[in-house]
Amino acid sequence: MAMDIRPTTLPDVRLIAPARNKDARGFLSEIYKKNELEAAGLFLDFVQENQLMSERPGTVRGLHFQAPPSAQDKLVRVARGRIFDVALDLRRSSSGFGRHVSVELSADNGYQLLIPKGFAHGFCTLEPHTEVVYKATDYYSPERSHGVLWNDPALGIEWPLDATSAVMSDADRARPRLCELPVFFD
Closest CA to 49 of 131, 151, 144: 131
User: For residue 125, what is the enclosing H or E element?
Assistant: strand 119-125
Is 15 within 8 Å of 103 (Cβ atoms)? Answer: yes
**Cα dist. 98→28, 82, 128, 153 in Å?**
37, 25, 30, 11
Please identify which of the residues 32, 64, 100, 129 carries the catalytic annotation.
Answer: 64
- From the candidates 100, 111, 121, 134, give the one annotated as an active-site residue: 134
Task: Judge whether 146 counts as a catalytic residue.
Answer: no
Report how far apart, in Å, the C-alpha atoms of 23 and of each of 32, 60, 79, 90 are: 21, 35, 19, 43
Question: Which element (helix H / strand E) includes 37?
Answer: helix 34-39
Based on the residue annotation, tell me whether 134 is a catalytic residue of this protein.
yes
Q: Catalytic residue positions?
A: 64, 134
